[in-house]
């Protein structure tokens, strides 16, 4: 197995082991999930551990499948260590945004690697904006940057309207993490892909404008 996939497999294995432990051990799941009240009381470790727990096998599979699909793009450009920085940084920023939006909802709980995975997806789009994605329900290739912008706009809609039992804010925060950390690690992008940097920033700016206006 080449270096390009070892770090991905380690992350997938960690997610699987911790998630399956949580599936069969309710107290373990409760102890390490993201919970606003517990985090405010000082249990900051939940900001990290919740990103390795999942609700069920479908939730786990979808996140790990998405990670596997995009991880090698980021590793190819940044290397394994910086890929880990993007992954863990996006996980934490996703949970920080959730904490910011739900700080007065002490009962609010969440789990999943979605924030971290969205960070990797947004990082991959920044690094290789010309790539195309094939989505299950659309028979033609979609430019990656269109998908990224569209997904974040949908996340804003989901946050505003509380759509589904989904942590839209964690997804969005993870994407911000992937965006910001990648630009810090790969400053050459400012010379090569300045237009793409600006386009991908638009939904991020929109979110904070709407928050400032009290629309979310």
Give me the pLDDT at residue 129, please. Answer: 84
What is the token pair recorded at 95?
């949970």
Give me the pLDDT at residue 2, please. Answer: 45
110 strand-pairing partners:
34
pLDDT of 80 over the 50 cut: yes
CATH number at residue 93: 1.20.1540.10
pLDDT digits (tens, 9 = 90+) for 31-76: 999 999 999 999 999 999 999 999 999 999 989 988 998 999 999 9
pLDDT digits (tens, 9 = 90+) for 90-149: 999 999 999 998 999 999 999 999 999 999 999 999 999 888 877 666 677 888 888 888
DSSP state of 34: E
- Look up the domain containing 202 and give its range: 3-212
Confidence at 1, pLDDT banded by 50, 70, 90? very low
How many independent structural domains does the chain possess?
1
Three-class SS state of 84: helix
């Amino acid at each position: 197995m080449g270096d390009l996939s070892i770090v991905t497999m380690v992350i997938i294995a960690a997610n699987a082991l911790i998630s399956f432990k949580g599936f069969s051990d309710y107290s373990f799941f409760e102890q390490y999930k993201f919970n606003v009240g517990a985090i405010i009381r000082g249990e900051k470790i939940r900001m990290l551990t919740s990103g390795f727990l999942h609700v069920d096998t479908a939730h786990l599979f979808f996140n790990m499948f998405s990670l596997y699909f995009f991880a090698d793009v980021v590793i190819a450009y940044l290397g394994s260590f910086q890929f880990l920085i993007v992954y863990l940084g996006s996980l934490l920023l996703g949970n920080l945004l959730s904490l910011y939006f739900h700080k007065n909802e002490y009962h609010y709980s969440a789990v999943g690697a979605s924030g971290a995975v969205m960070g990797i997806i947004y990082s991959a789009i920044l690094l290789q904006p010309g790539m195309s994605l094939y989505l299950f329900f659309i028979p033609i290739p979609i430019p990656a940057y269109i998908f990224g912008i569209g997904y974040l706009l949908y996340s804003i809609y989901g946050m505003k309207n509380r759509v589904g039992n989904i942590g839209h804010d964690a997804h969005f925060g993870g994407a911000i993490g992937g965006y910001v950390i990648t630009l810090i690690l790969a400053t050459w992008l400012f010379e090569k892909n300045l237009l793409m940097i600006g386009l991908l920033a638009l939904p991020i700016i929109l979110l904070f404008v709407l928050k400032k206006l009290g629309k979310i």
